[in-house]
Every structure is written in C-alpha cells, then in structure tokens.
Amino acid sequence: IDKRTIEKFEKEAAELGKGSFKYAWVLDKLKAERERGIT
C-alpha cells in the first residue's frame, strides 16, 4: 500500500469525522464497512 492510498483514506476519514479509522480503512474491502465504522 503506497502513501498516496493512505492519504486518500485519511482525507475520506476526516470528511466523515472518523480520522482515527484511517489505517483500519486501508484494510477494509468494502466502502459500506468504512461508512459503518466496522473494522
């Protein structure tokens, strides 16, 4: 996983107010899982 991918997830997490989830999101396969905050 490259830095650009992590930065993209970090931005999406911040927009949803879930910045702390950014690294878990890198491992999540489905956008729906990220939206629910399931890791």
Report pLDDT digits (tens) over 1-39: 688 887 887 777 677 666 556 556 566 655 656 566 655
Query: Is position 39 within any domain?
Result: no
pLDDT at residue 29, as a whole number: 55
Query: Is position 11 within any domain?
Result: yes
Cβ atoms of 25 and 12 closer than 8 Å? yes
Query: Is position 36 within any domain?
Result: no
Collapsing DSSP to helix, strand or coil, 10 comes out as helix
Query: Is position 12 within any domain?
Result: yes
pLDDT at residue 34, as a whole number: 57
Query: Is position 35 within any domain?
Result: no
Which residue range is the domain that position 14 belongs to? 3-30
Domain count, the chain: 1
Q: Per residue in 12-21, pLDDT tens?
A: 767 766 655 6
Query: Is position 38 within any domain?
Result: no
Query: Is position 16 within any domain?
Result: yes
